[in-house]
Amino acid sequence: MTSLPLIPVDPDARARRAAMPPRHLADLDLAGRRALVAELGEPAFRAKQVSTHYFGRLVRDPRQMTDLPAATRGTFAEHLLPTLLTPVRELACDDGATRKALWRLHDGSLVESVLMGYPDRVTVCISSQAGCGMACPFCATGQAGLTRNLSTAEIVDQAVYLAGVAASGAVAGSPPRLSHVVFMGMGEPLANYSRVVAAIRRLVAPAPEGLGLSQRHITVSTVGLVPAIRRLASEDLSVTLALSLHAPDDDLRDELVPVNQRWKVAEVLDAAWDYAARTGRRVSIEYAMIKNVNDQPWRADLLGRLLAGKLAHVNLIPLNPTPGSRWDASPKPVEREFVRRLRDAGVSTTVRDTRGREIDGACGQLAAAEDRDTDRAGETA
Ligand code: SAH
């Protein structure tokens, strides 16, 4: 007997199948939408009308845009509002204040986003890529590699969908308006630079061109792609930059954040300080606390020396568990000593209030697999 598979194994199948989606109105600014609407043979004012539905009222389904003639709705459904995200599952915890959505994209790729409601704000954590190519060993997303970049509209549509969830009053005890967006979901946002910057422009443009969020309420988190950080500093944007540092020394950072082999700690911090100087925005330094790996007092002191006097804030993240990881979170007393040493060095430091761990929705846990997360309490779809 031979054991040849019936279907030939094709290692490139996934990459070949993965394809960018059709164009959507959120890919375009208002002028671009007007031009497209004219090309479709519709009066120019329809561009604003359809934008008001999508960005102003958070209506994503053309069938609900009942003030448009039926034929126009059909044309727009095909050419301006193709379905980009199909919800596969929504999980909730924290009494509904934290919700994770799993989407299937048009080519079958899967991505996740997370909504977090607080008494004074609503934050969504969105994905910029399906998978991630940065291979940080403590992050679940990095383990399966990169499938593809998301389009601008695929990025924006996550925020618009979840803004609609917030507006429906589903997040009890939180304001109904989405206020904050963090690019801390799946993917490395600066590796999908032009689409991410266009998505930021849609998020901050006033309605009906965009969602009208404040630039200060948008955070782009990066492993530290130095040329892209410098390019971002030269855009006329002043979003918050978060740098995933995780180690103050190159020996350890080379392992924890492999891109450090290309751009070293000193170089990436230089780029971060230039960003802070050009935008006036304090840079957020992300540091996952990993037991006996990066949590030693001497590393706190070294980090303190690197950051003292800079426009920086340290966000310590208790390491979240990921499948197959050999690492654990630091014990609380170790974490407290780390915080104490940084503050003694004059560095503003907080420990992140981690949300969504029980639904694998916390930092580094987004892996977008359909076969996980079943039989969980709080499943909502
Ligand atoms: N690629 C970008 C954005 C996505 S990750 C980046 O790396 O910055 C968002 C944050 O979660 C990053 O700071 C990342 O290092 C951190 N993170 C990843 N895995 C984690 C884990 N298991 N526990 C805690 N934080 C983690």
Q: From the candidates 42, 90, 112, 209, which is the catalytic residue? A: 112
Nearest CA to ligand 1 atom 18: 364
Report the pLDDT value the prediction gives residue 17, as an integer from 0 to 100: 66
CB 234 within 8 A of CB 189: no
Name the residue of 182, 221, 315 whose CB sits within 8 Å of the most ligand 1 atoms, as the mutation to test its pocket.
221
Least Cα distance to 91 among 165, 174, 142 occurs for: 165
> What is the distance in A from the centroid of ligand 1 to the CA of 74?
41
Q: Specify the CATH number of the domain 25-79.
A: 1.10.150.530
Atom of ligand 1 nearest to the CA of 134: 1
State the pLDDT at residue 356.
Answer: 86
User: What is the 63 CA–ligand 1 centroid distance (Å)?
Assistant: 38
Closest CA to 30 of 200, 201, 157: 201
User: What are the start-end ranges of the H helices in the chain?
Assistant: 13-17, 30-39, 45-51, 70-79, 140-143, 152-167, 193-204, 226-233, 250-256, 265-279, 297-307, 332-344
- Does the active-site annotation cover 363? yes
Other beta carbons within 10 Å of 38: 13
* Atom 6 of ligand 1, residue of closest alpha carbon: 222
Q: For residues 66 and 207, what is the distance between their CA atoms, to the nearest angstrom?
A: 20
Taking residue 13's Cβ as centre, other Cβ atoms within 10 Å add up to: 11
Angle between helices 265-279 and 226-233 (to 10 degrees): 10
Instruction: Please check whether residue 44 is in contact with residue 38, taking contact to mean a CB–CB distance below 8 angstroms.
Output: yes
Show pLDDT as tens, one digit a residue, over the chain (381 residues): 344 444 444 545 555 568 999 999 999 999 999 999 999 999 999 999 999 999 999 999 999 999 999 999 999 999 999 999 999 999 999 888 999 999 999 999 999 999 999 999 999 999 999 999 999 999 999 888 999 999 999 999 999 999 999 999 988 899 999 999 999 999 999 999 999 999 999 999 999 999 999 999 999 999 999 999 999 999 989 999 999 999 999 999 999 999 999 999 999 999 999 999 999 999 999 999 999 999 999 999 999 999 999 999 999 999 998 888 899 999 999 999 999 999 999 999 999 888 888 888 888 888 877 755 443 333 333
> ∠ CA(133), CA(136), CA(142), 5° rounding?
45
Q: Is the CB of 222 under 6 A from ligand 1?
A: yes
Exposure pattern of 161-196 as b/e (b: 16+ CB <10 Å)?
A: bbbebbbeebbeebeeebbbbbbbbbbbbbbbbebb
Per-residue DSSP letter, 239: P
Q: Is 93 assigned a catalytic role?
A: no
Helix axes 226-233, 193-204, angle to 10 degrees: 30
pLDDT score for 376 = 38
Q: Which CATH class is domain 84-380?
A: alpha beta
What distance in Å separates the CA atoms of residue 260 and residue 223, rounded to the nearest whole number? 8
Residue 287: in which H helix or E strand, if any?
A: strand 283-289
Per-domain residue ranges for the chain? 25-79, 84-380
Report which ligand 1 atom has the smallest distance to the Cα of 354: 24
Ligand-binding site membership of 188 (annotated):
yes
CA angle 61/62/64 to nearest 5° reads 75
| Residue 244 known to bind ligand | yes
Question: Which protein residue's CA is at the shortest distance from atom 5 of ligand 1?
Answer: 184
CA angle 286, 288, 290 (to 5 degrees): 155
Q: Is 221 assigned a ligand-binding role in the annotation?
A: yes
Q: Is residue 320 part of an annotated ligand binding site?
A: yes
317 lines ligand 1 (CB under 6 A): yes
Token duo for residue 75: 């044309």
For residue 96 the two structure tokens come to: 């509904």
Confidence (pLDDT) at 18: 81
User: What is the structure's pLDDT at 15?
Assistant: 56
Q: Which pLDDT does position 1 carry in this prediction?
A: 37
